[in-house]
Amino acid sequence: MGPRRAHRKSRNGCPQCKARRLKCDEKYPCTNCTKHAIQCSYVDRGISTPVETPDTRSEPLASFYVPSPLNTESYPTTPAGHLAALVDAKPKSESRSFLLQFLSDSPDENQALNTDDWASDLELMHHYCTVTCNTLTIREDSRHVWRVVLPVEGYANKYLMHGILALAALHRVSLFPTQKEKNIKASAYHQAAGLKEFRELISSPVDPSNWQPVFCFAYMVMVYVCASPIRLGGDRWPAPISNMVELFSVIQGLQTLMEPWLHSLRKTQLAPLVNCIWIESEMLIASPAAIRQSLLPPDIHVRISQLHRFIDDYPFPHIQPQSHQNLNASDEVPPVDYRADYKHSLKFFEHSTRQIELAGPHVEVGMVLLWAYSLSKQFRDDLETFHPAALVMLSHWCVLLHLINDAWFIKGTSLQVLEEIEIKINPGFREWLVWPRRWVCGK
């Protein structure tokens, strides 16, 4: 037996490989970072190259047939714009931790499908580009992003392509009952394959080299979670209120993940995805003419005023949060201001209704789901424990949710959530459900 080959130990690997616990070959850039399209710190040690920015670029952003050079752009790493200003300073690490845990709990279906069945993948891709992409938004510029930009990004990012195929298979489940089992299996396989690489990427901070495909996949994760009843092979949520809390937490986790890049998003070819959802702060002024042309109930602003009075008068407790009850006296933490949490969620409810008001008959799903950004951990815990004030707020959000009931991935959700609220809420607060029931159930 020959002598063992000497093993060279080194502590000079790039920070990206160290964070992902991989052996770095210390090239410039290293092979691992090149393989996964990650910005390697070793690039800084080599020959410096000019960094392209949206202001200096001369060619158009959108590219139809070649992978776009998005990963070479450098953008500000601090959030800016009205959305970041509206969201309160909630614990970011908590939202990110929940997201990582949620993605880690996703089942591994990698062995459940014949990976050589390329014909089925072509069928799914064709279905996505001709049908599914048009169901995810209403505006044509946003449809172009889903139809053209995302597939082009998918060519260079395998996990994103898996996400596209998973979404197409899930859509086919809702359209072709006789092929349900086949498409559920295909969707689960592709989603698990995409999540495996996605988890590795977001376990480290998202950087200029990968944030745009990460954003695209994150958007798809949100749709995938909304379509949970479909991927479970049915048409009902197992526990509607708890499932909504999980959806809200996922949305917050994804928002926390992408927050440093939200302002930069408007400078890229992905801009239509946010331009159709987030309005500028100067437009947040109620308009009687706009409300008459929208899909909102005509008395929505009267109802919001009543909710303000409800929150102002509600006897919220002022107690120490459970996580701090065992601290020493010297480590005292201010009591939780429940009322402030609820007022903040109601403020965001108003912003959401204003966007829907301006959209007229063209309500985007994101306009409704935007409310999730405002919900504090305490508010979500109150939903889980069926706190009356939280359930009253959720019931009114169901009215907004019902406006997008035609979306295949969230169809029937508003009614299911409202039905469970009626069962779980304290009988003394059922009068607050009369108005939501009228606009969701028609009675």
| Tokens, residue 388 | 């009356």
pLDDT digits over 90-136, tens only?
Answer: 455 555 565 656 665 555 544 455 556 788 999 999 999 999 999 99
Q: What is the mean pLDDT of residues 267-288?
A: 73
In angstroms, the Cα distances linking 308 to 105, 199, 287, 303, 335 are 38, 40, 19, 9, 22
Return the closest-CA partner of residue 96 out of 259, 336, 213.
259
Determine the 3-state secondary structure of 273 from DSSP: helix
- Is the pLDDT score of 249 beyond 80? yes
Per-residue pLDDT reduced to its tens digit, 294-309: 899 999 999 999 999 9
Res 11: pLDDT:
67
List b or e across 401-432, with b for residues whose CB sees 16 or more CB atoms inside 10 angstroms: bbbbeebbbbbebbbbbbebbeeebeeebeeb
What is the percentage of the chain residues whose pLDDT exceeds 90? 53
Facing residues of 73 across strands?
52
Handedness of CA 236, 239, 241, 247 (dihedral sign): negative
pTM given for the model: 0.74
In tens, the pLDDT along 151-182 reads 999 999 999 999 999 999 999 999 999 999 99
Amino acid at position 118, single letter: W
The pLDDT, as a whole number, for residue 229 is: 95
Helix axis angle, 118-130 relative to 180-202, nearest 10°?
A: 80
Residue 44 has pLDDT above 50, yes or no: no
**407 vs 361: CA distance, rounded Å:** 14
Average pLDDT over residues 407-432: 97
